[in-house]
Amino acid sequence: MPYLFVGAGQAGCSLVDSVFDHQRVAQLATPVAFNSTIRDLQNLSNIEREAWYGVSEGSGLVPGTTAGFEEEVTGGFGRDPEKADAAIAGQQPQVIDAYQERFGDGSPPFAFLFLGLGGGTGCGIAPHLAEAIREYGGSSTDIIAVAVLPNTAGTVTGDDGPSATRQATNAIYGLDRLEEHVDGIILVDNQRLAYEDAAEGRFNEYNDYAASAIVDLISGPILERINPGEYDDLDAPVIDLQDVVTSLTLDDGGVGYATLGRSVTMTRSLPGYLLPFVGRKSVDGATLSRLAVSKRSVEDVNPTDAVKAIGQVRAPAPYLVDDDYRIQVSVIRGLLDSYCSEVNIGMTLTERNLASFTTLLTFAREDITRLTDIEDLAAEHAAGVTV
């Protein structure tokens, strides 16, 4: 398997599980789930028990196949990442053994590390998991973190939830340490759901949105099993994961922070599903790209502050080769070019009757207002102010 997918804590493991809900992703990647609560691990649908690893305050790292696993991995860390950090500290050899057992010999060229930033487990253990990936894979392994920002506008679950300032403190604690070990960070902001009706029930939908975007970026033409060489008129640029890593790395070598955006449109009307030669719909590249940017995964980010951008168009063959239906990729590129000077666009085929555009806009940390706001809340918490 070329890629390693690691989930840290409830949010991180849930996102990895959503990624592996997509057909054939298991041909490309190997999942590993680290969490401190058995209930959350048992809620996973697509990650087998052999890939579970519990983190326990008393026992350290506990493989999911261990007899009595349920008794050893029970209660989490009370949203305290420093407790989680202490529990996994010194467990580096065991974490590396876990990667070895799941991935096997050889170095993964790319690893994704998923975590939530509002609680305790993900924030506390993720830097250790990233450090272990680096030690296991060596310098040839690039690490991309996918980090979920907490809703600091108020808890979705009610007033008895953790304070915004406490969640902000956890987020900054996690990010500051994570930066030392990864090549780039993709942010997914739970505050995007803060003002939605029945927001709590939409977390699964939001996970699916983020997971679909990640799958689009990692899979390229591989998962579709389509040979581009079969199309004489297809001369489409291709992006790969190395391009994604380059897009996430700042020019000075620092870690970039990216927002994720994805839009999808049907390419056939209902009659077209019944009669294959009718019902094909035109796709407006301008609308497709603008919608993806508008659905970016972080609150209050100005696209014109981006320093790099990458985009992936995925569509049936006629939309890449047929003059009557060809998506105007130049229009899509023009939109991204209006934000920043370094833009990379890829195009790949799909057999599905869908056209999608997935984009990452990369920023320096200080140019993301949402992170500045979280840092201010963390400062309030340090000063004894609770919001």
Compute, in degrees rounded to 10, the torsion defined by CA atoms 329, 331, 333, 337. 170
- For the stretch 191-204, pLDDT in tens is 987 555 444 557 78
Distance (Å, whole) CA 68 – CA 28: 32
pLDDT of residue 157: 44
Instruction: Give dist(CA 360, CA 356) in Å, integer.
Output: 14
- Between β-strands 60-63 and 52-56, what pairing exists: parallel, antiparallel or unpaired? antiparallel
pLDDT at 221: 57
Per-residue confidence (pLDDT) for residue 1, from 0 to 100: 57
Say if residue 233 is exposed, middle or buried (CB neighbours under 10 Å; 0-12, 13-18, 19+): exposed
pLDDT at 24: 84
CA 170, CA 209: separation in Å to the nearest integer? 25
**Calpha distance 6→178 (Å, rounded):** 14
How many Cβ atoms from other residues are within 10 Å of residue 6's Cβ? 30
Complete domains list, the chain, with CATH: 3-219 (3.40.50.1440), 228-369 (3.30.1330.20)
Residues of the chain with pLDDT under 70: 1, 154-161, 194-201, 220-235, 270-279, 385-387
* Cα-to-chain-centroid distance, residue 317: 28
Q: Give the pLDDT of residue 58.
A: 85
The answer to whether the beta carbons of residues 220 and 238 sit under 8 Å apart is yes
Which pLDDT score, from 0 to 100, does residue 277 have? 57
> What's the pLDDT at 229?
58
What pLDDT is stored for residue 374 in this prediction?
Answer: 96
Lookup: tokens for 384: 């004894």
Helical H segments across the chain, by residue range: 9-19, 38-42, 69-72, 81-88, 92-103, 121-137, 164-178, 203-219, 241-248, 270-274, 285-294, 318-321, 329-337, 369-382
